Amino acid sequence: MPFAPALRLVLGEQLPYQKPLRSGNTSRLRIPYRIDTRVDNPAMSIVINYELLLASAKASGDFLRSRFADAAIDTALARDVKLAEDRHSEEMVAAGLLSDSPWGVMSEEGGWLREPASPDEPYWVIDPLDGSYNFMRGIPLCAVSIALCQGMTPLAGAVYDFVRDELVHTNETAGLYRNGERIDRAALGGPLSLSTGIPAATRSNAEAAAKNAESLNAWGKVRMIGSAALSLSWVAQGKLDGYKETGIRWWDVAGGLALVRASGGNFTVANDDIWSPLEVSANGR
């Protein structure tokens, strides 16, 4: 069941809720020849609209790049911020997915924008701006993350590092791509490196904090960059060896886990409730 791609997003049509976009450089984005990929499973034959996935991530990232370090705070929480750019980015991505794909859509900001018709049906997962605090402070470690999932299995995904204009993406059969070109996972030497985060819930729990610290001892280098999507994209590319975080959400990791899976890496998710905080581990080997 092929769908019309959301080309209006990359051609710059202004949507009712959208601030004017600054033109982005799309010359580096080359779409692989095969766009629709059929994934066989016992319940259905899934057609992944790969062009829609990439166009949605690219258009949203181009908008966010124009607002980088110039964010408007909607809500300031004790340990988080909600930005107007989060909401605008979500609306941009959701508009294309809802109009040009039949699948359900789940988002960090809005929950179910359209629920799947059945538990076996695929659904899109949007994190419209992963690393909002970095984005607000002008720290260039943030990304747009989109995945198509079936249950807790990511079938396809894209993570767009819009500051560096690096769109890393995949589908079920085509491996790992960066800006449209097939890439292999880098084999880098040196001590094993891990990206992680410190869950807010464990900061006041000495036992949990000690357990978390002990789990890091096996790694030569530990990094905390403030974006699960970018961390997992770097694991998939070989820039990092592993990722581990407790208390993370499905929308934070779904797109990146699709990349890890496509690159030949492994991951585990400690439970199967997409609305609960998760414990996620991933490595590139």
Cα–Cα distance list, 152 to 75, 115, 133, 236, 241 (Å): 30, 15, 27, 18, 22
Flag whether 114 is in a domain: yes
What integer best gives the mean pLDDT of the chain? 82
* pLDDT, position 173: 62
Domain match, 117 and 208 both: no
Contact 127, 74 (CB under 8 A): no
Q: 3-state SS of the chain: helix, strand, coil percent to 5?
A: 30, 30, 40
Average pLDDT of span 239-262: 96
Give the tens place of pLDDT for each residue, 74-85. 887 767 788 999
Q: List the CATH number of the domain containing 207.
A: 3.40.190.80
Average pLDDT of span 29-52: 52
Flag whether 131 is in a domain: yes
* pLDDT, position 72: 84
* pLDDT, position 47: 80
Flag whether 188 is in a domain: no
How many whole angstroms separate alpha carbon 257 and alpha carbon 153? Answer: 9
Instruction: Using the 3D structure, point to which of 182, 212, 243 is the last residue of a domain.
Output: 182
Flag whether 138 is in a domain: yes
Domain assignment of residue 232, given as a range: 193-283
Domain match, 158 and 208 both: no
Domain match, 13 and 56 both: yes
Flag whether 177 is in a domain: yes
| Tokens 């001892």 belong to residue | 217
Average pLDDT of span 5-21: 30
In which element (H, E) is residue 223 found?
A: strand 221-223
Give the tens place of pLDDT for each residue, 93-127. 999 999 999 999 999 888 999 999 999 999 999 99
Flag whether 99 is in a domain: yes
* pLDDT, position 183: 93
Domain match, 50 and 136 both: yes
Q: List the CATH number of the domain containing 19.
A: 3.30.540.10
Domain match, 107 and 233 both: no
Say whether pLDDT at 30 is over 50. no
* pLDDT, position 20: 30
Domain match, 227 and 112 both: no
* pLDDT, position 233: 98
* pLDDT, position 44: 56
* pLDDT, position 159: 99
CA 178, chain centre distance (Å): 14
Give the tens place of pLDDT for each residue, 142-189. 999 999 999 999 999 999 999 999 999 987 567 899 999 999 988 888
* pLDDT, position 99: 95
Domain match, 13 and 115 both: yes
Q: Would you state the torsion angle of the CA atoms of residues 51, 55, 56, 62, taken in this order, to the nearest 10 degrees?
A: 160
How many whole angstroms separate alpha carbon 54 and alpha carbon 158? Answer: 7
Domain match, 140 and 259 both: no
The total domain count for the chain is 2
Flag whether 219 is in a domain: yes
Model pTM score:
0.82
| Tokens 């991933």 belong to residue | 282
Say whether pLDDT at 266 is over 60. yes
Domain match, 166 and 217 both: no
Domain match, 172 and 202 both: no
Which residues is 125 bridged to in the sheet? 106, 147
